[in-house]
Structure 1
Amino acid sequence: MKAGKLVSTTALVLAAAGWLPVAAADTTEAMCEARKDGETRKGASGPCSFSQRQGYVSIDLRNGETWELSPRDKANHFRDQKGNKVVRSVEGGDHIYKWEHRKIIVSFNQQHGHDHGDNNGHNDHGGNSANHGQTPHELRDLVDGGYVGGEVADEMGRRGYHSVRDEVSGNDVYSYYKGHGNCVTVRLDGRRHVRSIVTGPDLDCQR
């Protein structure tokens, strides 16, 4: 059976079982670092495809592995197609998915397939995606500033950003905003002070 047919069949089975939404997911190209505990080689690392829709996540690695993640009741917690627990964290512009004995880091600040990149397909100068993980200049004063809780949302609105959604992870709250052509993530600590504001892929700002 050809790989394309196998993936399609698997997707249909997972959708029927409730693992995947019926609606088509939005897909973007990214860089993935995939590694099991104690593994030194990077056979699965490199350019990958990432899609997210209604909380469901799909990661296609360059070695042919595909991970389908279904959201659980708690924010940033998933189960893969084998029923294993997966926890997501966000660091800068990276999404980190952790299993018990493996992790996959999905980076959105690289572009691929350009001749002027290095031999691993990296390109440090391509397109708007190179700005992911940066703090917009008009928001820099909010980080570790005096705004707390609801004041942050009010100030973001005054500066041209509208709230899309919120996620809770431990004591922190991750608030996603759209504005000025950017999707930004605002991280609030347990006291609801702003600890970081970074740009990320448009996928982060989908409801």
Structure 2
Amino acid sequence: MKYSKTIFAVTLAIASLGITVSAKADTVTARCDVFPRGEDRATSSGLCTFSQRQGFVSIELQDGRRYELSPVGDQPGNYLDQNGRAAYRQSGMGDGGHIYRLATESIFVYWDTTPYKEEPQNAQASNVQVGDPVPGLQDLVGARAGQAEDVVIQRGYEFVKSEPSGDSVYGYWRETRTNSCAVIRTADGRYKSIVYGLETSCDN
């Protein structure tokens, strides 16, 4: 009997340790863009904390706002928020992150936090090649130009100038972290490409 109790205690300790490790592994720093329902313009964009345990989802933004989603029903991806309102997870981002549709807003959770990583000034400048995609803005390719500009600014870019060419307009943006020049090509009202250009291209 004593031996059985010892085995049970050891098993319980190992199980508890496994739960702790699993819980820790399910909490990550991500990037969250928040959009009012039905709109393409984000009202906030920045680092956030994403947690998922046993189907329960928790998202905490940098400004302290917190979203608690509890699984409901037999269909995965359906939730109730902390106020008891329906919410669901939408597919479409593949391995890049999650999309959560709430009653009054949508939250896009990206695993890539590149735009908000703290790096020394000009840390990337020497590694940037002309024509390389700007990694922190690729999710905006295809977005409506006028509505995506606020997100570009929130992610640390300063508008310099724009130049028309054929059926496109090229916008030049200074990446404040590295002083590199990002070039956004717009056609038919949407961003078609976002790549690095010559640093001199961002001279006024």
Instruction: State whether TM-score is above 0.5.
Output: no
User: Which structure carries more helix by proportion?
Assistant: 2
* TM class by smaller structure: 0.3 to 0.5
